Structure 1
Amino acid sequence: MVEARHWPMPATPRPIVMVGTGGIVRDAHLPAYRKYGFTVAGLYDTDRDRAVALAGAWGIGTVFGSLGEAAAADAVFDIAAPPGAHDAILATLPRGATVLLQKPMGLDLAMATAIRQRCRDRGLIAAVNFQLRYSPMMLALANAVAQGRLGDLVEIEVHLNLVTPWHLFPHLKNDTRVEMVSHSIHYLDAIRAIAGDPAGVFARSFGHPQSKLADTRTTAMLDYGDTLRATLSINHHHDFGRRFQDASFRVEGTRGAAMLKLGLLLDYPAGEPDELWLAERGGDWAPVPLGGGWFPDAFAGPMANLQRFAAGEDAVLATHVEDAWKTMALVEAAYASNRAPMAPIPTEGPTL
């Protein structure tokens, strides 16, 4: 039987200090931490008024006056600042601190490498918040794959055709890289968690005439050899009503198949319920009860895994910065492919 599950909580949860108080903290981190019994000891943001307002709304008693003051707290640090600020913040934290970094791990592989080195140099126990792999639907899917319910994997397809309210993410306006490093990175990381590291990637990312962002549509294919086909088709601009909008993650094997509905992305951020359906060859499709969704439930997983790893309760930190760097390397390869020319189509046949 496939059981949907949440990551187990640490035996003795440590308090959390949030560095950054933007929309993702309000909509996902704080709801998840409250739901799963974590205590948020304080907030810090360069925009103090925003931090004070959020603290008031959530009954958090402490708003730190400086990053240094926040870093002095005896707590686990949840860094939800823009990725370009991560390295400088890490340099301020105590040596050996336990840290969760918001994804992405920098905006490119050079930033990711600097962050990884900073964590090594300061002995930080650090993970990146690639939370999709911790969602109830993905944990259940991983369980089914591990049990052999699907057999040998032959198909992984991520298909999005929907409307994303990019105005909710104003910090992306000036970025030269948007879609793959800020959105499809979730799927690339989740695919790595299920199937391991690919040997290569082909990718093309496109802008849109009605968007001022650098790129918001992506096609990608991962190289897993001759048997497993893994693809992404991502369009954030299907603004023609709900009927043909889609947010699905399909996995097929030699014995069975799985279909996931990423409900959060449909009418984001309100969303619809996530779904996971499984079918074994010759049998009917059956839904798997999930008991939660990507938002906010998945956000408890990285923090629980991090705290349990730091306490010696988990042997593996799934999104350790060393592993997260590999997801960033895959994204970097996708952007390198995006710049490479396609093979030209011959205009004439060979000379006879």
Structure 2
Amino acid sequence: MTFDPKTLSQSWPLPSNPRPIVTFGAGSIVGDAHFPAYRKAGLPVAGLYDPDLAKAKALAEKWGVAAYASVEEAAGVDGAIFDLATPPAAHRAVLETLPEGAGVLIQKPMGADLTAATEILDICRRRHLKAAVNFQLRFAPMMLALKDAIAKGWLGEVVDFDAWLALDTPWSLWAFLKGLPRIEITMHSIHYLDLIRQLLGDPQGVHAKSIGHPSHEMAQTRTSAILDYGDRVRCALSINHDHRFGRKHQACEFRISGTEGAAYLQLGVNLNYPEGEPDILEIYPKGGDGWVSVPLEGKWFPDAFVGRMANLQRFVAGEDHELVSSVEDGWLTMALVEAAYQSSADPATPIAGRP
């Protein structure tokens, strides 16, 4: 059988009868990704709330939606799906205000640490919320296609996963990050750890080191990590957000190798952010004799946000039987993040001195 890249699935089916979306938060991610994605897919947005009412009104006016004066008013929209584009510390208070049994999408991370994630999980269980975490990278067209290619056997057994980032990330765009004790893994590489969990399953453990940079005060912006999958699978991440020496040798890419094929991906949104560059997926398929470019039907930003919300809406309506990245599964990603920070804080294996 000849590999045909056009047969790979790249999108998630839309809900038959989409519910109105109420968003909490008016940060840049809402205007840059959430609202463009929902409009592109025809998913209705009822309105938004932000404690900075002027900011909320400005964004609401731009998109032609309501600006609510309080959390309670926003939570009172009948039949809504609630979209929490809020900082980690704000999640719990909003979740306690939502109607019991509501459908809700919680911005990653699922709390600042595993303790907070456990509290959020408990709230969702107690209030019977149909809650998912916004690990939308799983829904990027290139990642849906990669997952489909692996499921169809075009790579054979996956035995190597490399993530390599050398970027100049403009951390100043996210003012709320300044002063936080955990940044790089919790706010960025968590996407990659979550995706790896989906593709490879849960690792046995992790070795990690995450550090800052002398040129700024952000807690961490550089991470090296090895995920332990035993003696058959090698998984490594090298993340550097402080490579400020021009575009020529910057990179944001994954290399996935199997026993019979391989895949290469470029995550374009992170290059020259926020303008971004194209996403790329190339596959060397089983039985092939070269790399095949997969024509992509969209990008991580904003298209992955369509699939993420579509799955939640379809699950609430009973059209999907699985809620991808549910809070139950999201907690396991948070546990991996916690283990990575613990590993980073622990001393490395000492090297023997000269005898």
TM class, shorter-chain normalised? over 0.9
1:21 to 23, 26, 32: 26
3-state SS of paired residue (1:73): coil
**Aligned residue identity for 2:353:** T
1:141 aligned to 139, 142, 146, which one?
146
Aligned to 2:260: 255
**C-alpha distance in 2, partners of 1:183/1:84?**
17
Q: Which residue of 2 aligns with 1:310?
A: 316
Secondary structure, counterpart of 2:150 in structure 1: helix
Match of 2:301, SS? coil
Partner SS, residue 296 of structure 1: helix
1:315 deviates by: 1.0
Q: Distance in 2 between the 1:280 and 1:330 partners? A: 31
- The 2-side partners of 1:320 and 1:78 are apart by 14
Q: Deviations over 1:247-273 (max 9, x none)?
A: 001110001000000011100110001
| TM-aligned CA deviation for residue 348 of structure 1 | 2.2
1:295 to 301, 309, 324: 301
Counterpart residue type for residue 342 of structure 1: A
User: CA–CA distance in 1 between the matches of 2:290 and 2:28?
Assistant: 40
Counterpart of 1:261, as a letter, is: Q
Matched-pair contact (CA < 8 Å) for 1:4–1:290: no
- Describe how 1:43-54 pairs up with structure 2 within 5 A: 43-54=48-59
Residue 82 of structure 2 aligns to a residue whose secondary structure is strand
Q: Secondary structure at the match of 2:338?
A: helix
Please give the secondary structure, in 1, of the residue aligned with 2:122: helix
Partner amino acid, structure 2, of 1:303: M
Give runs of ≥4 in structure 1 deviating > 2 Å: none
Name the SS for the 2:67 alignment partner. coil
Alignment map for 1:125-164 (pairs within 5 Å): 125-164=130-169
> Partner residue of 1:67?
71
Residue 243 of structure 1 deviates from its aligned partner by: 0.7
1:58 and 2:63 correspond: yes
Shift of 1:4: 4.0
AA aligned to 1:283 is: D
Contact between 1:155 and 1:229, CA under 8 Å: does it hold in 2?
yes
Residue matched to 1:98: 103
Q: Kindly report the root-mean-square deviation, in angstroms, between the aligned alpha carbons of the 2 structures.
A: 0.8
2:300 is aligned with what amino acid?
Answer: W
* 2:343 is equivalent to residue 337 of structure 1: yes
Task: Tell me the distance in 2 between the aligned counterparts of 1:171 and 1:6.
Answer: 32
Aligned residues: 348
Q: 1:4·1:288 contact (CA, 8 Å) conserved in 2? A: no
Residues 80-121 of structure 1: CA deviation (Å, up to 9, x unaligned): 111111011100111111100111100100000000000000
Please give the TM-score of this superposition, normalised by the length of structure 1: 0.98
Shift of 1:280: 2.5
Q: 1:319 aligns with which of 300, 318, 325?
A: 325
CA distance in structure 2 between the aligned counterparts of 1:249 and 1:8, rounded to whole angstroms: 26
Identity %: 57
**1:44, 1:66 within 8 Å by CA — same for their partners in 2?**
yes
Match of 2:269 in 1: 264
Amino acid at match of 1:88: A
Q: Does 1:279 align with 2:284?
A: yes
**Which secondary structure state, in structure 1, belongs to the residue aligned with residue 223 of structure 2?**
strand
Question: 1:220 aligns to what?
Answer: 225
Counterpart AA for 1:286:
V
| 1:195 maps to 2:200 | yes
CA distance in 1, matches of 2:310, 2:249: 37
Shift of 1:162: 1.1
- Asked if 2 retains the 8 angstrom alpha-carbon contact of 1:302 and 1:319, the reply is no
User: What is the TM-score of this pair, normalised by structure 2?
Assistant: 0.97
Q: Name the SS for the 1:9 alignment partner.
A: coil
2-structure distance, mates of 1:78, 1:250: 32
Unaligned 5+ segments in structure 1 are none
**CA displacement at 1:301 relative to structure 2:** 1.3
What is the CA-CA distance between 1:233 and the residue it aligns to? 0.1
Equivalent residue number for residue 328 of structure 1: 334
Could you report, residue by residue, the CA deviation over 1:113-136 in whole angstroms, capped at 9, with x for unpaired residues?
Answer: 000000000000000000001000
Once the two structures are TM-superposed, the CA of residue 343 in structure 1 deviates from its matched residue by 1.2
Mapped partners of 1:163, 1:316: distance in 2: 37
How many Å apart are 1:283 and its aligned residue?
1.2
**Distance apart, 1:174 and its partner CA:** 1.3
Which residue matches 1:12?
17
